[in-house]
Amino acid sequence: MKAATDQHQGGRQALASHAVQVCFLLVLIVLWFLATNRWGVNRLLLPDPVAVFWELWDILKSGEFVGDLRITLTELAAAFAISATSGVTAGYLVSRSQYRIRVFEPLFAGIYSIPIILFLPLYVLFFGLGPASKIALGATISFFPIVLSTIAGFGTVDKLLVTAARSMGASDYQLFRHVLLPAAFPVVLTGMRMGFTVALLSIIGSETIASLAGLGHRIVHLAEAMEMPRMFAYIAFVVAIAAILNLIISRLEARGRRRP
């Protein structure tokens, strides 16, 4: 039925829904503008959008963001490198026998259901306020989706394929390279994308809660200084960075899926 309606009026309807989305954004910006400039909403609660725009322009032009961005991205890269290598290794080792899967998989899944952000105070105690605690937290949080999807990916490879390859005389390496890896790769990639997203969120989050530098810290710093337009500008900047990073990682995932 969906296909039928699509054929009937797909084009026009898609256009109409896009129009609704564009209108939604426009109305939001106009309301924001009117609220601050006409209806006298307190500037400390909601800054003028025009001022926010110029602050954003200033941030981008002056390059002030570079230091904080570099710290956040370095933390992210380190955390993701740790969680990706350890998660894939641990997941692969666990997935090699059904017994190990049945022992470890519920354990990882159980820990995964705890909000690991709870351990942030502990990590701050261990690793201090600097980047180390953010890297550790980001690595811990993103380890679980990666290890779970690696177990799922390698653990559910069709037995028939493995038996067939073995009976045709495939070596361990050949089995891994030509049977296990292609079968598991898409699932592992999905886990890595999820891990990347939660690593980014937890690093910005832990920077917001307790840190010395980084984008999350910058936003909090501006909030405490009541510099609202600049803070809004930084929020927009961080949201854009997060969107770009997620877009890149989704693209990489899609590309990786196509040719394993």
Partner 1 sequence: MTQAAATLRHVLLRPGIARIGVVVLLLVVWEIAARRLVDPMFLSPPSRVLMSLQAVFETKGVPAAVLTTLWELAIAFVLSVAIGLGVGLAVGLQPFARASVMPIILLLYGTPQITILPLFILYFGIGAASKIAFGVSHGVFPIILAIVAGVQNIKPILLTSAKSMGASRWQIFRWVIFPHMIPSFFAGMRLGMTGVLLGVLLAELYVSTAGIGYFTNLFTQNFDPTRLLGLIAVLAAMAIALNEIVRRAEAHFGRWHED
- 99-108: long-range contacts (C-beta < 8 A, 24 or more apart)? 101/151, 101/155, 104/151, 105/148, 105/151, 105/155, 108/144, 108/147, 108/148, 108/151
The smaller minimum CB distance to partner 1, of residues 84 and 215, is found at 215
73, 183, 194, 201: which one binds partner 1 (CB under 8 A): 201
For tokens 């510099």, name the residue. 227
Residue 118 sits in the site that holds partner 1 (CB under 8 A): yes
Q: How far is the CB of 63 from partner 1 (least distance, A)?
A: 20
The contact pattern for partner 1, residues 240-259, with x = CB under 8 A and - = no contact, is --xx--x-------------
The smaller minimum CB distance to partner 1, of residues 60 and 103, is found at 103
For tokens 């005389």, name the residue. 169
Q: Count residues binding partner 1 (CB under 8 A).
A: 49
Choose the stretch contacting partner 1; rule: CB under 8 A; options: 51-59, 67-75, 117-125, 170-178: 117-125
Q: What is the DSSP string of 130-185?
A: SHHHHHHHHHHHHHHHHHHHHHHHHHTS-HHHHHHHHHTT--HHHHIIIIIHHHHH
Query: Which candidate, 100, 76, 96, places its Cα nearest to that of 195?
Result: 76
Contacting positions for partner 1 (CB under 8 A): 1, 5, 13-14, 16-18, 20-21, 24, 44-45, 99, 102-104, 106-107, 110, 113-115, 117-122, 124-126, 200-201, 204-205, 208-210, 216, 219-220, 223, 231, 235, 238-239, 242-243, 246
